[in-house]
């Protein structure tokens, strides 16, 4: 597939959703007839494209590919539409910190003790993040050699579907004024561009505080099928001649009951398996399928398909410092509207009015374990202000 195509750009640029929106053409949450539980999937199926992971990249990519080809999307999580209120703005922290087995965010701890989350839902990170929308840095577009006209077309596609101008009420106005007073200059007003200084951006929450996500980007259902709770365990490869490069031919996935299914590519020369399961999930799947470092795979009994020592290596997350401030009185509900950008890599942002009372017991313990030395005030009727500085 031509990586310079509009399809690729739409998927690539939607990834800007990750933790970075009153007035647009965004649609209400759809009732998709092509989304099914994986337990209903046939034992064997054939498709032009197989997309592993229905997240912030997989959803828009599958949506555009399905305009002309047959596409299968395999998502290990569930649907965000079964309980739409769960992802409303006021439930942001409750959803992100939900420890239940069917939560949209899967908590994990790295080997060096850092807490983090992996999205586990159709729509991926755009279902659990703070919903701030920003375009990519201009330099990134240029250095990547992308066609700027196609990039702008992709921006418009996403922004017309799921992006709104962020409201600037009392709290976010105070955040903006504080950033300017602290010297985060210049003031750039409202803009979706990623530029130094203080700005007002966009959000994927609409005027009723309902979240819109990458899952809302699906349009024509006739060429696409999405299976939920479908965990891909292996990519199948074939080698046509001795010494030739292996070619992916299909995948094996398990449904919620542990039953295995196989999905194969059709014989079309352009058919592809697209792995968009996140930085961790994609690397894990490649290694389980035999693509990775020989010294790591062979001791585990994994048959080597291709020796690629860099698979799964060099991972790093953006550093983040958060300050939680309890208030005895209700605080205006807001997530991120005003942000400060310095040195092109640092974000300063804030949210307010996040009520943790419904589940304060387990959340307070979770926050205490994350913050380590910090103290979480155990007051069941308090609202919270969150200040964050990240790189």
- Using alpha carbons, list the distances in angstroms from residue 257 to 18, 38, 48, 105: 31, 9, 26, 21
pLDDT for residue 385: 57
Name the fold adopted by 165-206+318-390.
Cholesterol Oxidase; domain 2 (3.30.410)
Give me the tens of pLDDT residue by residue for the chain, a chain 391 residues long: 444 444 444 444 444 443 343 334 334 446 688 999 999 999 999 999 999 999 999 999 999 999 999 999 999 999 999 888 999 998 998 898 888 888 999 988 888 777 788 999 999 999 999 999 999 988 899 999 999 999 999 999 999 999 999 999 999 999 999 999 999 999 999 999 999 999 999 999 999 999 999 999 987 678 999 999 999 999 999 977 667 789 999 999 999 999 999 999 999 888 999 999 999 999 999 999 999 999 999 999 999 999 999 999 988 777 777 777 777 788 889 999 999 998 756 889 999 887 665 544 545 555 555 544 333 333 333 445 566 666 6
pLDDT for residue 391: 61
For residues 153 and 245, what is the distance between their CA atoms, to the nearest angstrom? 35
Three-state SS string over the chain comes to CCCCCHHHHHHHHHHHHCCCCCCCCCCCCCCCCCEEEHHHCCCEEEECEEEECCCCCHHHHHHHHCCCCCEEEECCCECCCCCHHHHCHHHHHHHHCCCCCCCCEEEEECCCCCEEEEECECCHHHHCCCCEECCCCHHHHHHCCCCHHHHHHHHHHHHHHHCEECCCCHHHHHHHHHHHHCCCCCEEEECCCCCCEEEECEECECCCCCECCHHHHCCCHHHEEEEECCEEEEEEEECCCCCCCCEEEEEEEECCCCCEEEEEECCCCCCEEEECCHHHHHHHHHHHCCEECHHHHHHHCCCCCEECCCCCCCCCCCCEEEEEEEECCCCCCECCCEEEEECCCEEEEEEEEEECHHHHHHHHHHHHHHHCCCCCCCCCCCEEEEEEEEC
Lookup result for tokens 């959000």 = 203
pLDDT for residue 209: 94
For residues 256 and 40, what is the distance between their CA atoms, to the nearest angstrom? 10
For residues 177 and 165, what is the distance between their CA atoms, to the nearest angstrom? 19
Q: How many residues would you count in the chain?
A: 391
Within 10 A of 137 (CB to CB), how many other CB atoms are there? 16
Beta bridge partners of 132: 203
Contact 62, 54 (CB under 8 A): yes
The token duo for 107 is 């908590």
The token duo for 322 is 């958060």
φ and ψ at residue 10, rounded to 5 degrees: -60, -40
The token duo for 39 is 């337990």
Residues 6 or more apart whose Cβ sits within 8 Å of residue 67: 219, 220, 223
pLDDT for residue 31: 64
pLDDT for residue 133: 95
For residues 64 and 305, what is the distance between their CA atoms, to the nearest angstrom? 31
Half-sphere exposure of 193 (CA within 13 A, CB side): 12
pLDDT for residue 59: 95
pLDDT for residue 387: 61
pLDDT for residue 9: 46
pLDDT for residue 284: 96
19 Cα distance to chain centroid: 8
pLDDT for residue 107: 87
346-355 and 338-342 beta bridge pairing: antiparallel
pTM of the model: 0.86
The token duo for 168 is 């600037």
């Amino acid at each position: 597939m031509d990586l310079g195509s509009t399809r690729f750009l739409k998927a690539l640029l939607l990834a800007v959703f990750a933790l970075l929106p009153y007035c647009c053409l965004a649609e209400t949450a759809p009732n998709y007839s092509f989304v099914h539980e994986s337990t209903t999937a046939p034992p064997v199926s054939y498709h032009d494209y197989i997309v592993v992971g229905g997240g912030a990249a997989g959803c828009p990519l599958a949506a555009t590919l399905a305009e002309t080809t047959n596409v299968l999307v395999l998502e290990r999580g569930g649907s965000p539409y079964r309980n739409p209120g769960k992802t409303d703005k006021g439930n942001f922290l409750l959803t992100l910190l939900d420890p239940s087995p069917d939560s949209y965010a899967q908590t994990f701890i790295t080997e060096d003790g850092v807490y983090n989350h992996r999205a586990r839902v159709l729509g991926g990170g755009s279902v659990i993040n703070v919903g701030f929308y920003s375009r990519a840095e201009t330099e990134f577009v240029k250095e990547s050699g992308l066609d700027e006209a196609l990039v702008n077309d992709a921006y418009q596609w996403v922004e017309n579907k799921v992006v709104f101008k962020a409201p600037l009420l009392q709290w976010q106005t105070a955040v903006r004024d504080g950033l300017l007073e602290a010297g985060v200059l210049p003031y750039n007003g409202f803009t979706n561009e990623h530029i130094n200084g203080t700005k007002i951006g966009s959000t994927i929450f609409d005027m009723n505080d309902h979240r819109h996500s990458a899952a809302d980007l699906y349009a024509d259902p006739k060429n696409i099928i999405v299976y939920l709770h479908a965990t891909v365990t292996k990519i199948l490869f074939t080698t046509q001649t001795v010494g030739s490069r292996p070619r992916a031919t299909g995948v094996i996935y398990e449904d919620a009951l542990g039953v295995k299914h196989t999905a194969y590519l059709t014989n079309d020369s352009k058919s592809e398996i697209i792995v968009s399961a996140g930085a961790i999930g994609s690397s894990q799947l490649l290694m389980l399928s035999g693509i990775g470092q020989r010294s790591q795979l062979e001791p585990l009994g994994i048959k080597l398909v291709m020796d690629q020592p860099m698979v799964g290596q060099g991972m790093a997350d953006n550093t983040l410092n958060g300050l939680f401030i309890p208030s005895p009185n209700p605080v205006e509900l807001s997530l991120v509207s005003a942000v400060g950008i310095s040195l092109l890599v640092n974000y300063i942002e804030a949210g307010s009015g996040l009520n943790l009372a419904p589940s304060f017991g387990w959340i307070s313990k979770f926050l205490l374990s994350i913050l380590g030395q910090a103290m979480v005030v155990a007051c069941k009727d308090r609202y919270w202000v969150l200040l964050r500085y990240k790189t």
